[in-house]
A and B are shown apart, each in its own frame.
Chain A
């Protein structure tokens, strides 16, 4: 009798208890990351609205579509965490892709060398940005705005204004692995992991947070702020180059006009992911989610046959809402 009551008491007591704890955990994870909950809601809604959305093929498509923005955005995350801004990543991506195509075709360099040269080009552009900011004392907005123009211009000069078709050996980079896993997705994941490790574990990453949080305090604590900034912008340039290569290999050609305006998508992804434009806050996972939200939205709106014009409107509203929600959440926390 007594044991029975005990059993009956504990039985129904523990089960809902465990369920409630699980629900609380899910709720906390979602609340702690506003962008993640937005992504979950978005995916759920699109799955209901369109039967074509939740298929492996389409999800891989979304991954491919997100890849370029995400890789650009990972690089921009470094810059934004350290309280800077990089407007040049779209142009630098196009320039790097053009350098890749030009060196692999006109100059006949082997693919690996052409890729190296392209990444070197992007990194060099970033170094110039960093030097202008650290030593020329230009505001990051101005320095990278100048590079936005220079990069695009150089891409047009090298390509003489027309797309360069990539040799098959290079466009293979846009193919799939094992016949189903797209290489751009693999590159995106690899770059994301690298970003996460760099930000969380390395001296460079930790000093980015310190510089973004309080540059003067960081300087007075012995962090070489100028040198770090050079590296930060160089990283952003290098990531942009990788994004440019991924984009070109997908299109099987390097187009000097490609990736125009992508810098704004990249910044949007970083900000939707919870980073603060005033610096000191931001994560690789957040940036990835931000890029996925943009890609899922575009993909979903296409599936629902929403016109491209209205898509722009919706994306703008989503950016504003995401950041607004995040701000509200922080204020109440």
Chain B
């Protein structure tokens, strides 16, 4: 079945009077609702998309953007509300359904097979065939045509593994075009791109818009909205707040998005700083990061900002001893740590709340108590036997302090909400009496209310003399919570900003800064 490329018409039969859709409308969502255990991700959300427009979806992390696009791409089905394509109600239950309705999504993580060629990836599962065999010649020719339409110079025979991230994205776009997509959803496509690459992407998006494709564009970079968008729908706490033209003032957009002043959202109170607790000097890993030096003092929150892939997580994992490094040193409370030794690091008072909470922070099938006691298990052991009663009491105490919402200390951690899980990950380091906490994306995937609780927890920690190093890709969070901001780009620290100097623009300028003599392009 082929998908018509002119919007508003359906193949074959002409539409009778029953056509409530305004001319040019491709897609409409009415009163959509989706709840997950413990959190309502989306509630009574309206959204619509016309042919030949870029409709920006704006909102904080956790505002419901991902849930909304997952409903359109067949990952989630709405609990209530309806979705209309070309004015007719449809049910998008699977990715195949979405494809059939001409909806293509470019996720932040690409769906490409690294060891196949670009052309094979574009036509995966739909390779042109002749006598049952794949017609390579035709496939490559058609792929070349699509790639030319996107405006990217990649040979169709190239292996996907050898391509950089910007080109992977172009291949994904070409794949979407090959599906005759009329609706193209792009989830933060610019987050991983350099300035030059962003410009190129914008060129492609504008060309698609002229072709009549409707584009849903998600971005956190406010300046991109005026540059590219036509309309903006703002989501907040799972509801669609308003719809405004794309040339709306940036401050106004922030106000709509946050819905309250930054002070309320980020309750940072900077206490007096004490002695240096963590000192990193010249930390280097060849091909990873280079000459990283900084200090974190007691009572201080230092933000580590930068684009995804700038090397922030690599640096903190190395200084925590989870991964090796090639040169430099790490000192905690004046004591130099041995290289690549997690146990020495945590005994010296470091604690790491990793980026991937479920994959690295928690034993999901174990209980709250067992997870809280993981780091202290060793200390609570006498002659090989674990002091179970002591572990239990300690876990009860910390869970109470952190306000972990649970049925009981023996509840399986898998069944808790993201925010409560994160409290447990932080809690295990509190039990271990860590002085320096490294928080890697501490509020990713956590709803707004729980975020504020995490921020308040960070405040309490620094008040009691802890030092916090916080990685976050959420700019308002970095700006709102940090006393100082370090910005990384391409494996180097490109600048340090005080709380007063740190603005979105200043941080972004440093985050996209090309480092001289850095890794090749």
Contact = CB atoms under 8 A, between A and B. Distances in A.
A220 B345 CA distance: 10
A165 B186 CA distance: 75
Interface in A185-242: 201-204, 206-207, 209-210, 213-214, 216-224
Given A209-B370, A220-B352, A223-B377, A214 B384 contact: no
B293 to A, nearest CB: 24
Contact of B365 (A203, A204, A218, A280): A280
A174 to B, nearest CB: 31
Interface string B326-346: 000000000000000011001
Interface in B383-405: 384-386, 388
Interface in A278-325: 280-281
A203 B359 contact: no
A223 B322 CA distance: 12
Contacts of B374: 210, 217-218, 221, 223
B90 interface: no
Contact of B362 (A214, A222, A223, A224): A214
B: contact size bracket: 20 to 34
B388 A220 contact: no
Contact of B386 (A201, A213, A217, A220): A201
Contacts, number: 73
Given A201-B386, A220-B322, A222-B346, A206 B370 contact: yes
Contacts of A220: 320, 322, 342, 352, 354, 360-361
A308 to B, nearest CB: 39
B428 interface: yes
B363 interface: yes
A65 B152 CA distance: 70
Contact of B384 (A204, A210, A216, A218): A204
Nearest to A204: B384
Given A221-B375, A223-B374, A213 B360 contact: no
A333 B342 CA distance: 37
Contact of B366 (A201, A203, A209, A223): A209
A206 B364 contact: no
B381 interface: yes
Give the secondary structure class of B's interface.
mixed
B385 A214 contact: no
Nearest to B345: A222
A82 B66 CA distance: 35
Nearest to B384: A202
A224 B343 contact: yes
Q: Which of A201, A203, A220, A223 has the most CB of B within 10 A?
A: A220
A207 B381 CA distance: 11
Nearest to B317: A220
Contact of A281 (B320, B365, B370, B381): B365
A210 B322 CA distance: 17
A221 B428 contact: yes
B149 interface: no
Contacts of B366: 209-210, 213, 280
A202 B375 CA distance: 15
Nearest to A213: B363
B96 to A, nearest CB: 26
Interface of B: 320, 322, 342-343, 346-347, 352, 354, 359-366, 370, 374-375, 377-378, 381, 384-386, 388, 428
Given A213-B366, A223-B378, 13 more contacts: A202-B384, A202-B386, A203-B378, A206-B377, A209-B363, A210-B366, A210-B370, A210-B374, A214-B359, A220-B320, A220-B352, A221-B375, A223-B377
14 contacts: A201-B388, A202-B384, A203-B378, A203-B381, A203-B385, A206-B386, A210-B370, A213-B363, A213-B365, A214-B359, A214-B364, A217-B361, A220-B342, A280-B363
Interface of A: 201-204, 206-207, 209-210, 213-214, 216-224, 280-281
